[in-house]
Structure 1
Amino acid sequence: MRTDPLSEARATVLDPQRVNLHPALMANAWAMLKSARGQPIQRPELLLPAHVITTHPGSTFEEIGQACQRVAIKVRGMVAARAQGGAV
């Protein structure tokens, strides 16, 4: 049995888990639905697949902890500078 492409696109947009790590499939479904409604795609660059965030194989809890400490120190410094009237 063949499924209707618009029904398939609608199901994809309503349930993103169907295309979990394939953002191009979500963008295609979105573009198909907009086209079916007669809505032009003003900025097609927004339909390009976004990157998928992955961890690096070498990332360890220690490295992540060190990065969190560096970020915390940087943020505290920025807040302190702003509180003293300085520009960040």
Structure 2
Amino acid sequence: MFGIFKWWGYDYLRCNLILDANSLLNVPMQPWDMWEGYKNLPIEEWTEKDNKAMDDLSILDLNVDNNFEALYKYVQTNDKIKVPEDLSEIINSLE
């Protein structure tokens, strides 16, 4: 399994998918930044809808060169994925 420090398996993959999506949109953040949403919601608490959101995000990430607007709209309309505009809401997960 892939991972580093305390993030392994699905936690690691989930966080990287969310970071990749926001990076593709040129949103500044650090890998250890956390905010309310999928980055800090335990996988055990995810619903089928949450899993589908990650599946959809992965497809949009892969197709960003062909449809940037779709990825942008998807992330911007999903507060569980997008980086908060108010940076005081971001938590440093290394502390």
TM-score norm. by structure 1 comes to 0.25
Greater relative contact order, per chain length (Cα 8 Å cut-off, separation 6+)? 2
Question: Bigger radius of gyration, 1 or 2?
Answer: 1
More strand by share: 2
TM-score norm. by structure 2 comes to 0.24
